[in-house]
Amino acid sequence: MADPKQQQRDAFRAADPAGGPLTTDQGVVVDHTDDSLRAGDRGPTLMEDFHFREKITRFDHERIPERVVHARGAGAYGYFEPYASCAEFTKAAFLQDPSVRTPVFVRFSTVQGPRGSADTVRDVRGFATKFYTSEGNYDLVGNNFPVFFIQDGIKFPDFVHAVKPEPHNEIPTGASAHDTLWDFVSLQPETLHTIMWLMSDRAIPRSYRMMQGFGVHTFRFVNAEGRGTFVKFHWKPKLGVHSLVWDEAQETQGRDPDFNRRDLWDTIEAGDFPEWELGVQLVPEEDEHSFDFDLLDATKIIPEELVPVRPIGRMVLDRNPDNFFAETEQVAFHTANVVPGIDFTNDPLLQARNFSYLDTQLIRLGGPNFAQIPINRPVAPVRTNQRDGYHQGKIHRGTNYSPNSLGGGCPAVATGDPAAYRHLMERVDGAKVRRRSPSFDDHYTQPALFWHSMADWEKRHIVDAFRFELGKVAAKEVRARTVEQLALVDHELATAVAEGIGVTPPQQRADTPRPTPSPALSIANNQADTP
């Protein structure tokens, strides 16, 4: 039997009958669609040809704005099932019963390029999952790197402006190599950890099916007793992590710009369903301050040797969408779409995201009713006092306010009802400040840990990538400043990069952080297969 999301889709499909004669949007049968109505054989086209006007008008309005980031993507449906109950840590219904499959839709994406750009560019990949749970939609909006470029969402517009093509000529596109990005990187050392990942083979996945995913932020699980536990989410692909090498990636861009998208589609069509395991790193609330980094800092990982990843379930993608626009393009993920048992932390990047996604979707999807679009529609019942707005698809009846003694209106359930979402009652106080805790300023220890966890051939690829990308930067001072920053990560790395791009190699500094290589970073070199 089809899962609840598929049943919902089937109902929408039934409302769009295939076959039968062509009609207008008003249901009037059309006799001719190839020639417009004209006055005489050689006369002007007549305004009264309503079918002509409707056909052209509808075509003129087929496009909507692409996503400001992550514009290019590919999606698929599937299901998630937990291995065992996670009740000890979370009351989230979809993490309780191994016999219950929750329908999901996943969209993979590149970040920087526009909708029509190539798949196999050097870039971060989005890995966004919508779980259609019995308690409402839960979105895990992650990437294929466990860290992010900035620590506070207020910098996101600056970062994205630096990453995107330059404003005057919209060059370059599809690659990350240009002066503005490296100018930003050299002036914002908090970017360095993610830049190390970006220069590694992780930034050129061979397939979406062979890519890890990370929630990046520290989130919170909350159990039925109201106890919170910090949690980091990890997706591990059953096929292992595999990358293209740079030359392969470049050639692939020319031969097949849809390489990753096609691979996902074809394998699902062939019944070779991709699978990921969901794992969690759990940190009890009382251990919040036991690390030398801050759990609220999205530029840091929790090393797996300190907190191992526990597998809690698996996800299989087994159906392609019917319509790219209706489903993959109109899907709207939002970090604030959470269900009871999953909560936020005060990570300033996460808090900004919790504002940004709904805000951008209000314009991208044409107003406030986009949760009614089939791909976004929960399978859980929706009863709100929200009304009207562009593209209202429901015929609401009765009054629409609460409290309400006249009938209609939806009351909130009593506080304490286990079905209701209740925010974790975290104590928060403090003066208004714009600073963060001091460990946010350590921008070098974890990039160094990443570098030292690499095999020699992986290091070579990283150096080659830095040389290729920085070698394209025209501003000599930007190249030099970036090398100075790399010298604070590792002298050998900085020297190797400097020698390839005509910059004087840096002096060895006595205080360069040099952590010992750590197996904890197995997430960094896990199963990579490209020598």
Which residues contribute to the site for ligand HEM (CB under 6 A)?
A: 67-70, 73, 107, 109, 126, 128, 141-143, 148, 153, 156, 216-217, 298, 331-333, 349, 352-353, 356-357, 360-361, 364
Cα–Cα distance for residue pair 320/269, rounded to 1 Å: 7
Distance between CA atoms of residues 472 and 205, nearest Å: 23
CB 212 within 8 A of CB 205: no
Cross-strand pairs, 342: 221
Instruction: Please pick, among 51, 137, 143, 376, the residue that the annotation labels catalytic.
Output: 143
DSSP, collapsed to helix, strand or coil, labels residue 105 as strand
To the query of whether residue 143 is one of the catalytic residues in this protein, the response is yes
Q: Which of 51, 70, 443, 452 is catalytic?
A: 70
Closest CA to 212 of 229, 195, 232: 232
Kindly report the number of other CB atoms within 10 A of residue 209's CB atom: 23
> Counting beta carbons within 10 angstroms of the beta carbon of residue 184, is it exposed (0 to 12), middle (13 to 18) or buried (19 or more)?
buried
Q: 416: phi > 0 → left, psi -120 to 50 → alpha, else beta; which?
A: left
CA distance 492 to 505: 10
Going by C-alpha positions, the residue among 435, 440, 446 that lies closest to residue 192 is: 446
Beta carbon nearer to ligand HEM, 219 or 466: 219
Question: Among 189, 157, 145, which Cα is nearest to 441's?
Answer: 189
CA atoms within 13 A on the CB side of 228: 18
CA count, 13 A, side-chain hemisphere, 303: 18
Count other Cβ atoms within 10 Å, centred on residue 518.
Answer: 16
Q: Where are the alpha helices (DSSP H) in 284-443?
A: 348-364
Tokens 């591990």, located at residue: 236
Cα–Cα distance, 204 to 123 (Å, whole number): 7
3-state SS, residue 143: strand
459, 451 Cβ separation under 8 angstroms = yes
Contact 338, 138 (CB under 8 A): yes
Residue 522 backbone dihedrals phi, psi, to 5 degrees: -60, -25
Closer residue to ligand HEM (CB): 141 or 462: 141
Check if 169 is active-site: no
DSSP 63-88: --PPPSSS-SEEEEEEEEEESS--TT
Strand ranges for 238-354 from DSSP E? 275-284, 310-319, 342-343
CB nearer to ligand HEM: pick between 68 and 520: 68
Other Cβ atoms less than 10 A from the Cβ of 381: the count is 7
The residues carrying an active-site annotation are 70, 143
